[in-house]
Amino acid sequence: MDNIQIFKNESFGEVRVAGTSDKPLFCLADVCKVLELGNPSQVKTRLCGEVITNEVIPDSLGRQQEMIFINEDGLYDVILDSRKPQAKTFRKWVTSEILPSIRKHGIYATDNVIDQILNNPDFGIELLTKLKEERSARIEAEKQVAVLTHVNKTYTCTEVAKELGLKSAIELNNRLKELGVQYKVNQTWVPYTKYATLGWFDIKQEVADNGHIIYHRKITGIGRQGIINLINS
């Protein structure tokens, strides 16, 4: 990754930031150094996987090395997890890096608020906690919207197979057979009762000119998510 920005401060050194302005990534080793935390690897074990990413960046000699980066939620987790009485370092970190991030996310920081953060680390911690809660609530709302967009839609096996990275609908159908979701009758895939009652499939019948019954099967929005969860589990 080439888009590395280094923030320098005489009091706490350098912090490498990658990512984008909307989704910045902070070098975990640098954050731990600023907050006077110990082993970054131990700090990493206390974080959930979704806030962590590995990025390959050049070192001071131009050599490529893999480093651990954390997103904003991870940054807040590390700050809030610190138990050491390091108000001075914390204050400087807030004013040089965290405060601009808070402004960017819509929390209006008046001079009075800034003074409170500078003079009262607990106030800064409370503000960061509220910001993290707001971000989590927004992410959850976005997930709900994403789910609702699939509620009334149906999908072909080919579409779901492509979403799962499978080669074809044939491969998906065979996987569903192996997982006990469906079985084959006269060249037609039929869901077992459990999955039929769950509403995973929308099956319609059509009578052909020769009198034969043709079944048209599609996967519902609920079925799509269920199949994705089942195959990825």
C-alpha to C-alpha distances, 146 to 189, 196, 230, nearest whole angstrom: 29, 24, 19
DSSP for 43-86 reads HHHTS-GGGEEEEEEE-TTS-EEEEEEE-HHHHHHHHHH--S--
- Side chain identity at residue 127, one-letter code: L
Are 102 and 179 within one domain? no
Q: Which of 148, 177, 198 is the last residue of a domain?
A: 148
The answer to whether 16 and 57 are in contact (CB under 8 A) is yes
How many structural domains is the chain composed of? 2
Residue 108 has pLDDT above 60, yes or no: no
Are 10 and 111 within one domain? yes
Are 39 and 133 within one domain? yes
pTM above threshold 0.85: no
- 69: pLDDT confidence band, cut at 50, 70 and 90? very high
Give the structural domain span for 201: 154-232
Regarding predicted confidence, which is higher, 165 or 153? 165
Are 216 and 188 within one domain? yes
Q: Rounded distance, CA 89 to CA 196, Å?
A: 59
**Quick one: what percent of the chain has pLDDT higher than 70?**
69
Are 97 and 170 within one domain? no
**Residue 139 bridge partners (DSSP):** none
